[in-house]
Amino acid sequence: MLVHMRYFASLREAIGIDAETISLPQGVNDLQGLRRFLAARGEVWSEAFAEDKALRAAINQELVKASASLRDQAEVAFFPPVTGG
Amino acid sequence: MVSAPALRVVVQQEDFKLDDLLAQMRHGRPQIGAIACFVGTVRDLNQSDTVSSMFLEHYPGMTEKSLEAIAQKAIERWKLESVSIVHRVGLLEPLDQIVAVATASAHRQDAFESCQFVMDFLKTEAPFWKKEQMADQTRWVQARASDDEARERWL
């Protein structure tokens, strides 16, 4: 399964990239799995995606719950809680 | 005269004029008797630090969709004639306007309540992030629990 990742704000700065396409290994089919997969990259990734880090997620540009499942070719975004207005 | 409520969402770098926004909302809609508006502006002080400027990042595409969905929820919940949201992005300085939300209705109660509703959801769901520039450092603004609580009262 391919997913098109987007990262924003302090998260983007911490990991140093704003977008990438990832081919997910078998068994990673939801956001929690994806988060663990990204954290396992080590170094800045393990801290940025640590379990206690408050992150929000969107799939195809809609806010979703932390447990949402993934579909092939989805646009998946992770970002810190929003601070507009 | 009956027409569907108008919904307008704009995300832009440029400043906006509230007068123009209101005139546009009222144009051709004599059924409007009340407009509530909120304007958010850049403060020069946050958490006791002097802020010299701020940068507003957003998620192009999702931002507009998110704001439209929030305006639509307000239209479903209150009797509204028109909802307008303008949000700026990019580099802003103290005194600059950041956001305007205006809701128009026949009567004030619907206008007042829906304007607060739109702002409470915008603060907690629309993908914007503020980074403040101080004299010798920058910092990302942290989300506040009080904003989540303000949203929850509508649920």
Nearest C-alpha in B relative to A76 = B62
Token match 């002097």: residue?
B50
Query: Are B129 and A62 inside 8 Å of each other by CB?
Result: no
Which three-class secondary structure string do you get for A35-81?
Answer: HHHHHCCCCHHHHHCCCCCCCEEEECCEEECCCCECCCCEEEEEECC
All residues of chain A having their beta carbon less than 8 Å from the beta carbon of residue B66 are 61, 63
Dihedral pair phi/psi, residue B115, rounded to 5°:
-65, -45
- Report d(CA A10, CA A16) in Å as an integer: 10
Say what the pLDDT of residue B113 is: 98
Task: Indicate the pLDDT class of residue A80, thresholds 50, 70 and 90.
Answer: very high
Say what the pLDDT of residue B2 is: 60
Q: Which residue in B141, B149, B151 has the most chain A C-beta atoms within 10 A of its own C-beta, making it the best mutation to test that interface?
A: B141
Question: What strand order describes the sheet that includes A56-59?
Answer: A19-23, A2-7, A74-79, A56-59, A62-64
Say what the pLDDT of residue B3 is: 73
Task: Indicate the pLDDT class of residue B4, thresholds 50, 70 and 90.
Answer: confident
**What mean pLDDT do residues A28-36 have?**
96
Question: Which of A8, A77, A83 lies closest to B143 in CB terms?
Answer: A83
Q: Are B7 and B67 in contact (CB under 8 A)?
A: no
To the nearest whole Å, the CA of A19 is away from the closest chain B CA by 12
Q: Which residue in B124, B137, B139, B147 has the most chain A C-beta atoms within 10 A of its own C-beta, making it the best mutation to test that interface?
A: B124
Say what the pLDDT of residue B47 is: 85
**What mean pLDDT do residues A27-35 have?**
96
Neighbours of A38 (CB within 10 A): 18
**pLDDT tens column, B31-80:** 999 999 999 999 998 888 999 999 999 999 999 999 999 999 999 999 99
pTM of the model: 0.95
Question: Which of B40, B57, B61 lies closest to A85 in CB terms?
Answer: B40
**What mean pLDDT do residues B94-100 have?**
97
Name the interface residues of A facing B (CB cutoff 8 Å). Answer: 6, 8-10, 54, 58, 61-63, 77, 79-85
In a 10 Å sphere around its CB, with 0-12 CB exposed, 13-18 middle and 19+ buried, how is residue B89 labelled? middle
Q: Are B57 and A13 in contact (CB under 8 A)?
A: no
Question: Average model confidence (pLDDT) for chain B?
Answer: 96
Task: Indicate the pLDDT class of residue A3, thresholds 50, 70 and 90.
Answer: very high
pLDDT at B1 over 70: no
Query: Are A82 and B56 inside 8 Å of each other by CB?
Result: no
Query: Are A63 and B122 inside 8 Å of each other by CB?
Result: no
pLDDT at B126 over 70: yes
To the nearest whole Å, the CA of B104 is away from the closest chain A CA by 20
To the nearest whole Å, the CA of B31 is away from the closest chain A CA by 29
Query: Are B65 and A62 inside 8 Å of each other by CB?
Result: yes
Say what the pLDDT of residue A82 is: 98
CA-nearest of B16, B34, B33, B35 to B100 is B16
